[in-house]
Amino acid sequence: MYVVMVYDVSVDRVAKVLQIGRRYLTWVQNSVLEGELSPAQLARLKAEVAKAIEPTDAVRFYVLPSRAVLRIDTLGQQKNEPGQIL
């Protein structure tokens, strides 16, 4: 499945959430990561993020069956392309 993770967390937790997300997904824009995951990987990612955030934070996971059903229109500079090795 193809997952887009978007987060809005307190400044003191941004680095931690990004670090967790980058273990599973590709960073593509400030507070946005995306990539292919198995259901088990998604479950682990959600569990790790849940431990790192507070109730005032927000993290969204957009789950699609595959990247083939996703259309991305980008305006301006593209920071990173999913699939690139960091």
Residue 29, domain extent: 2-69
**74 lies in some domain:** no
| Residue 80 within a domain | no
Q: What is the pLDDT of residues 67-76, one digit of tens each?
A: 888 888 888 8
Summarised one tens digit per residue, pLDDT across range 27-60 is: 999 999 999 999 999 999 999 999 999 999 999 9
What pLDDT is stored for residue 82 in this prediction? 62
Task: Find out whether 36 and 67 touch, Cβ atoms under 8 Å.
Answer: yes
Is 11 inside a domain boundary?
Answer: yes
Instruction: Work out how many domains the chain is built from and give that number.
Output: 1
Q: Has residue 79 been placed in a domain?
A: no
Q: Output the pLDDT for position 73.
A: 83
Looking at residue 83, its pLDDT comes to 57
CATH assignment of the domain containing 19 = 3.30.70.240
The number of residues in the chain equals 86
Closest CA to 63 of 5, 21, 18: 5
Q: How far is CA 10 from CA 46, 52, 54, 68, 78, in A?
A: 18, 11, 9, 33, 25
Q: Is the pLDDT of residue 9 over 80?
A: yes
Tell me if 52 is assigned to some domain. yes
Q: Flag whether 73 is marked binding.
A: no
| Single-letter residue type at 42 | L
**What pLDDT is recorded for position 86?**
43
**Residue 21 within any structural domain of the chain:** yes
pLDDT at 80: 73
